[in-house]
Structure 1
Amino acid sequence: MDPHEPLSPDQLYRACDPADFPFSTTEELPDVPLVFDQRRAMEALHFGVDMADPGFNVFVPGPTGVGKQTAVTDVVSQRAAQRPAPPDWCYLHNFKDPFKPKRLQLPAGHGRRLQQDIQELIDELRTAIPAAFEGEEYRARVEELEQSAREREARAIEELRQKAREKGIALLETPTGFAFAPLTHEGQVMPPQVFNQLPPEVQKQIEATVAELQQELQKVVRQFPAWRKEMREKLRQLNRQVTQNAVGHLIEDLREKYREFEGVLAHLEAIQQDIVDHLEDFLPQPAPPIPLPFLINRAEERLKHYRVHLLVDHSETRGAPVVHEALPNHTNLIGRIDYRAFMGTLVTDFSMIKPGALHRANGGFLILDARKVLLQPHAWDTLKRTLQAGEIRIESLERTLSLISTVPLEPEPIPLNVRVILLGDRLLYYLLDALDPEFRDLFKVAADFEEDLPRSPETHQLYARVLATLARKEKLLPLARDAVIRMVEQGAREVEDAHKVSAHLRGVTDLLKEADFRARQAGRGHITRADVEAAIDARIDRNSRLRERIQELIERDVLLIDTEGSQVGQINGLSVISLGDFSFGRPSRITATARLGDGKVIDIERETELGGAIHSKGVMILANFMAARYARVQPLSVAASLVFEQSYGPVEGDSASLAELCALLSALADLPLRQDLAVTGSVSQHGKVQPIGGVNEKIEGFFDICRRKGLTGTQGVVIPQANVQNLMLRQDVVAAARDGKFRIHAVATVDQALELLLGVPAGERGPDGRFPPETVNGRVERQLQEFAELRRRFAKSKDQDNRGGEEA
């Protein structure tokens, strides 16, 4: 490739071959999965999804918008549909320790059935138990027990009364209890005055008899509590029997229905035992004299303990669950325990346990955005801890951080079987891999998605089918063939590679929607190339305020850029300004000066702390190139300076190092540089021109300035030869090149760039090891030799002056 000859229009824009698109509109094309050819990533994703080992969770790195989530959802949904639905999970009241609810695992759909059956049991208990205790039979049996107890006590008292009467003593019932009194011969209670008239011996005998009977009375009375306890026990047995008769068949029916599930049988047994132990709670309670709103119904509170809290219900799930959690914080991942206010305090129970994403995805797949997980406090640690433990333990973040000291619920942990798939940028993946030692143990599979695809007839056809599928999915107009071709070419432009095409589905979809809007505005039935180009132009126009402002300033000579003539030590460099997703090129004047010195090349941008590290590296490389080429056997006796004129912000990158080197060599050779050519490219220490980024924007940026100031036919841009494959220029630039109004030259070496810019042969070393004197390299070498000779003379003269001073 001759650098003096400009690139042909075909090299500036690689158009698609219409033969690669054998259709009229995308209506003729079938639907395909909305994922471009991502063989490596898809194989890794399939492996991670199918692998049974719990440590083979998947991280999907890659830029946003390339279809990662769509691909993951499609693959996971296909696998999930082939798997059985996971079990239901319930929580039950723990009658032994209410603060530690019990978990219950049931086959899919059985959880809801059990919940309904237990609720029906509770509804029956509300009426069956009170009804059983209000029946005539129960009342008669209670009355019988009470009558028997009363008769037993009365019989014992009567026996004692008869015994006392035989001894002439009467047993009397008083308001305060029992009392003994002597009887007269007529059988009447002896008045006190009569008793006092009796002989002392008789009185003492009567008192002894009363004392003896008093002891016997105490023995009888002491038996009453035991007899009454016995009666209450009989009554309790009766109540149990009545309760068993009332609810036993209900619970027995459930036992038979769920005989295969030990957890259900244990819960039914606990319910039955609790009913018996707290039977009084179910019996009618007397109404309080003053109704109080905060008084609780003890029966209803007791019945709440019998319910089944269905935490995860898979009764309507077909296959394994696939869960996308949009807000993956600590609570949303592992669940929470809610509270309600009661009389100024917060109370809770097992029915207020709420599931998290890990509960819902248990037995299936959980898809998370890695960045969102890392941004939520402690969510990443919670996710790792849960995966490592293999169980979901619901614990509030406050308790985890030891910020509260109350006694909360501690639900029994649920075993975890889930495949977690994280989506994130490559930077996140490599940072986690480098900084988190646990990351590799938990996420062993990386499904890396590419952001571009090689352009080929097969890729073009796949691209067309994806566009057809997108149009149908988004309910857009079908695309004509020329519109598909323009979309593919724009995809190559976006990845800055004429031999590749963008796989950024989000960007493709957005552009397609805007083109559809333009087509509908024009009343067309399908999207044409003109609609796509109008959408692209409109997108650029919406973001081009700053670009137009800069171009206006250059046109008015506020920012100084020459597009004609030539100047020594002055050149037009090119840079790219990026604002969000919009980038544009801006030419910048670079100047260089050279004088006698000690070999230092001053980068003014670095000295003022405006130059970045990469830019400083580029300046150092060009300085060492000069030393290696021109000062191999003598000191580099030059003091040079380089600067971006009218630059008031940071300067970064090495893409201007070729322009800086040319400006510096121009100053040394005293040869003027063409101002109608702008230059971009970096250089190596051996003088090779290396590729740079943003080549299309840089060329277009200088073209826009030249067009504003007037195209002369000699203007153009010098780019690295390696960047020719990246060219996908705007059509107005290609048209100007075709008409000979604008030129793009590609160079591989510094010498080729110098010949273009200076119009003088660069020159090669001859057999004598010197450059021809009138070449660029010869003039530079001669100037540096003169600097070196002058430096030697100055050094010798200074040495003589120093010796002369010593002799004096």
Structure 2
Amino acid sequence: MFPDEGALIAPDPESHWMSESHKKKSSPDGPSATALSADALFHGCDPALLDFETTADLPDLDHVMGQERALEALDFGIEMAHEGYNLYVLGSTGLGKRSLVNRLLGESAARRPVPSDWCYINDFDTPHRPRALRLPAGTGQALRRDMQQAVEDIITALAAAFQSEAYRSQAQEIHDEFKERDEQAFAALREKAEREHVVLLRTPGGYTLAPTREGEILDADDFAKLPEDEQKAIEKVVEELKQDLKQLIAQIPRWQREMRERHKELSLSVSSFTLDQHLGELRRKYQDLDEVQAYIDALRKDLLENAEQIRSLGEEEGGGPNPAGQAARQLNRYKINVLVDHAHTEGAPVVYEDNPTYQNLVGRVEHTVQFGTLVTDFSLIKSGALARANGGYLVLDADKVLSHAFAWQGLKRALRAREVRIESLEAMLSIASTTTLEPEPIPLDLKVVLVGDRLLYYLLQEYDPEFGRLFKVAADFSEDIRRDDEATRLYARLIASRQRTANLRPLGRDAVARVIEQAARRAEDGERLSLHMGSLDDLLREADYWAGKAGAERVQAEHVQQAVAAGIRRASRIRERVHEEITRGIQLVDVDGERIGQVNGLSVISLGEFSFGRPSRITATARLGEGEVVDIEREVELGGAIHSKGVLILSSYLAWRYSTDLPLSLAASLTFEQSYGLVEGDSASVAELCALLSVLADAPIRQSLAVTGSVNQHGEVQAIGGVNEKIEGFFDVCAARGLTGRQGVIIPASNRPHLMLRHDVVEAVREGRFHVHAVSHVDQASTLLTGLQAGVPDEAGQWPPESLNARVQARLTTLAQLRQAFSGRDGDNPPH
């Protein structure tokens, strides 16, 4: 058994019959239950309210039905420009939240300007910190293409310029000039040496000086034969010439440096001229963009500094640029990495990220493998949904964001800082030692819309202190609307709109009435209509299918009913097995006869979108004890908290009503027989109380009746959920065994507005073969079940003789006296 949402609904006014004092009478035997007529079991839609022949005669619904509160919140959140006014759209799946949000965002985005393009460019001084470049919309790709073409042209032009005749001629002139200077210096030194009869010789080790005599070089022996004065004179001359030679040799590196500087100036002049030729057009094209002009300046400076290496890229075979290998890696530094491109965007962007991982939200820095090492550069920075939605709207599924590691924290950090900082997740977590980047953050200006269910919203509000500051607007979608004549006619227009949108056959008036009745059934309330657009669309499509199978030009009521029945059949295999086990006697449920302490309770089993009712046998026992009512389900940890609460209320009710002057001296136990799973909810508390009263009063309970309802400490019966499925579940079991006319279900009177029973159940009630009783107090239920009047106490507090309550009180009094007697026999202290 599952929790009953209906337990929160206020009880029917008739249930307050004992609110002032349980001693007041409304009749000699107490209030009686109400046997509901067949007309009260189904809140049908009168086709007379629908003044059309088919939905083709109806105009489209020009507004969103029943979601005025959500629309106001959405309009406010979308238009509110201050920080923190992001939206959380909450409601169950299928209400049409996403389609409505997309439509409103699209309308708002169309009125807003197209945001800027964003690029990453290389910072030539600090390459690991690429710079973010903001450009007018549509400019990013153009700049990327222009820059790529310019660099390729520069590579080719530099190679051609340095291979030109003019450059070679000037370079040769510089070389010849310095060569001539070198030769002239050595010629002058050689002439001076010859005048002193010394020859300047070039050897593998450098230069050397040697004296001569009559044109012949003197060797060491000949030199030794010369007179000493002449030797000293020659040595003096040679030493002077050595000094001159040293000075000359010392000047050679300086001349070489001067030659290199002249060559460098020539190369710089040629490179500058070539670069200015090709970058000048870029400067003129982007003259209004100061950041682009600054980048071109930095690019020109880096190209000049690396002109020799850049030139070599164009000196491959064929003389064209080589984009492969080292050349490609060299050219990467001059690329424009277009992160966000709005060349084809109209208005502000509306981005829906279906897989909101951290990388897909914030962005990522990719790596490549070079020689077994992971490396990266700014051209491998990839954008995330935040950057793509910048200047517009980002729509996310709340549960998907929270289910991905670090995605929620990354989203909040970006919204807090109002910037997108793209970081490598591996580097951020220090789990990988690789080359990484620190890209300049991008300023963020966008509206984030989270779409999720209510439970998740309230959990975030409770446990995440930042959530309320970042998502200040909640757009809460209604699940249903009040059903009246005006709403019925509007719902018919809604059906017509959805039918035309899906390109289906028109629906006849009777078919529309049947769809409206099914909408009330889905809302679990005959006085309300479900706004679950997903289910409505499914029903229209399936009804159209069956109309097509029948060859009908329009959808009729029988086609809608066929679609409903077919959907139930597809999902009802487990229901049929459960009911079959009851019919075969495997699951013990009696539908006739009488038993003491045994009653048929009703529960609901939910399997996805399909729910069905299941009767269950509930039994009770009672004996002498200390006032404890044991819930066996709770003792074995099969009972939920709500069910356990319901059982505890029973003991409070017994003590309040029957043992105000004596200690409650029973030990009772309650259980769901053949229950092997979790039992939750308090909708069986009326049945459990009646079973307990049956034991105490020794009054048999009619097994032809099943009971559902919640009870409070004063015996008032409260509404529960799933009332239609519960009634139908017991009806199906009784019908399988044969309806006797004595069978029926007891429900809370406050559940009467919720009744939307199947037509076969309604017809069985109309023919007297089945019954539905509405009660507002447990006395009414116990009277129906036992056949004994509950009775109303007189002014002295005495119950009428032989009434059910008199027998219960007598039994409890006897147990209290027995307890006192046993206590007195064993001593002053009661036994433990």
TM-score, with structure 1 as normaliser = 0.94
Mapping 1:445-460, distance limit 5 Å? 445-460=473-488
Residue of structure 2 aligned with 1:736, choices 758, 764, 787 = 764
How far apart are the structure 2 equivalents of 1:527 and 1:264? Answer: 64
Structure 2 vs 1, CA of residues 181 and 65 (structure 1 numbering), >3 Å: closer, same or farther? same
Secondary structure, in 3 states, of the residue corresponding to 2:772?
strand
SS of the residue corresponding to residue 613 of structure 2 reads: strand
Are 1:122 and 2:151 an aligned pair? yes
Q: Which residue of 2 aligns with 1:670?
A: 698
Equivalent position of 2:242 in the other structure:
214
1:188-224 C-alpha deviation (Å, 9 max, x unpaired): 6556665444322112211211110111111112111
**Structure 1 residues 240 and 730, CA gap change in structure 2 (3 angstroms):** same
Q: Do the aligned partners of residues 279 and 729 (structure 1) sit closer, same or farther apart at CA in structure 2, a change above 3 Å counting?
A: same
Q: Is it true that 1:462 corresponds to 2:490 in the alignment? A: yes
**Distance between the aligned counterparts of 1:540 and 1:458, measured in 2?**
30
Matched residue, 1:805: none
Q: Is residue 417 of structure 2 the alignment partner of residue 389 of structure 1?
A: yes
Greater relative contact order (CA < 8 Å, ≥ 6 in sequence): 2
- In structure 1, give the amino acid aligned to 2:54: T
Whether 1:716 and 2:741 are equivalent positions in the alignment is: no
Q: 1:335 aligns with which of 363, 370, 377?
A: 363
773-782 or 278-287: which moved more?
Answer: 278-287
Of the three residues 788, 791, 809, the one matched with 1:763 is: 791
Question: Helix, strand or coil for the counterpart of 2:262?
Answer: helix
**Which of residues 63, 84, 89 in structure 2 aligns to 1:55?**
84
Letter in 2 for 1:26: T
Question: Within 2, Cα distance between the matches of 1:118 and 1:800?
Answer: 104
SS of the residue aligned with 1:282?
helix
Which of residues 658, 671, 686 is equivalent to 1:658? 686
Q: Matches of 2:638 and 2:355 in 1, distance apart? A: 41
Partner Cα distance (2:249, 2:166) in 1 = 31
72 and 637 in structure 1: CA distance in 2 versus 1, 3 angstrom threshold: same
Q: How many Å apart are 1:112 and its aligned residue?
A: 1.4
Structure 1 unmatched ranges of 5 or more: 803-808
Aligned mate of 2:545, from 506, 512, 517: 517
Alignment counterpart, residue 141 of structure 1, candidates 156, 161, 170: 170
Q: Does the 8 Å contact 1:34/1:70 carry over to 2? A: no
CA distance in 2 between partners of 1:342 and 1:638 (Å): 83
Deviation at 1:92, TM superposition (A): 0.8
Q: How many residues align?
A: 797
1:409 pairs with 2:437: yes
Secondary structure of 1:410's counterpart equals coil
CA distance in 2, matches of 1:462, 1:200: 136
Q: 2:614 aligned to 573, 579, 586, which one? A: 586
Residues 59 and 446 of structure 1 are in contact (CA less than 8 Å); yes or no, is this contact kept in structure 2? yes
**Deviation at residue 495 of structure 1 after TM alignment:** 2.1
Structure 1 CA distance for aligned equivalents of residues 218 and 584 of structure 2: 142
1:51-91 deviation digits (Å, cap 9, x = unpaired): 11221111112211111111211111111111111100011
Cα distance, 1:228 vs structure 2 = 1.6
The corresponding residue for 1:112 is 141
One of 73, 82, 91 as aligned partner of 2:111? 82
CA RMSD of aligned residues (A): 2.5
Q: Give the C-alpha shift of residue 679 in structure 1.
A: 1.0
| Residue number in structure 2 paired with 1:157 | 186
* CA-CA distance at 1:161 after TM superposition: 2.0
Query: For 1:131 and 1:33, how far apart are their aligned partners in 2?
Result: 69
Secondary structure of 1:283 counterpart: helix
| Counterpart residue identity of residue 788, structure 1 | A
1:538 matched to 2:566: yes
Is the 2:155–2:313 Cα contact (8 Å) retained in structure 1? Answer: no
Distance 1:159-1:540 versus aligned 2 partners, 3 A rule: same
What is the rounded CA distance, in whole Å, between the counterparts of 1:378 and 1:594 in structure 2?
57
Whether the 8 Å CA contact 1:129–1:243 is kept in 2: the answer is yes
* Alpha-carbon distance change, 581 to 544 in structure 1, aligned in 2, over 3 angstroms: same
Letter in 1 for 2:241: L
Which whole-Å deviations, capped at 9, do the CAs of 1:218-259 have from their partners, x for residues lacking one? 111211111121111111111121122222122122112212
TM value normalised by structure 2: 0.91
Give runs of aligned pairs for residues 295-310 of structure 1, distance below 5 A. Answer: 300-310=328-338
1:360-413 deviation line (CA, Å, top 9, x unaligned): 111111111111111111111111112112211111211111112333111111
Q: In structure 2, what is the Cα distance between the partners aligned to 1:4 and 1:375?
A: 51
1:473 to 1:393, Cα distance in 2 relative to 1, 3 A: same
Q: Is the 8 A contact 1:722 1:748 kept in 2?
A: yes
* 1:798–1:144 CA distance, 2 compared to 1 (3 A): closer
- Secondary structure at the aligned position of 1:179 is classed as strand
Per the alignment, in what secondary structure is the counterpart of residue 101 of structure 2? helix
1:480 is matched with 508
Aligned residues of 1:35 and 1:70 also touching (Cα < 8 A): no
Listed as ranges, the matches of 1:750-789 within 5 Å are 750-789=778-817
- Check conservation: 1:34, 1:71, Cα contact below 8 A: no
Q: Which amino acid aligns with 1:59?
A: Y
Residues 85-142 of structure 1: CA deviation (Å, up to 9, x unaligned): 1100011111111111111000101111211211221231132111111221111111
**CA distance in 2: counterparts of 1:284 and 1:709, whole angstroms:** 96
2:407 to 379, 388, 406: 379
Aligned-pair distance for 1:718? 0.8
Flag the 1:557–1:147 CA change in 2: closer, same or farther, 3 A: same
**Which range is displaced more, 392-401 or 524-533?**
524-533
CA contact (8 A) 1:34 1:470 kept: no
CA distance in 1, matches of 2:612, 2:738: 20
Q: CA deviation at 1:756?
A: 2.0
* Identity in percent: 51
Moved more, 323-332 or 233-242: 233-242
CA contact (8 A) 1:593 1:641 kept: yes
* Partner residue in 2 for 1:25: 54
Deviation at 1:297, TM superposition (A): 6.0
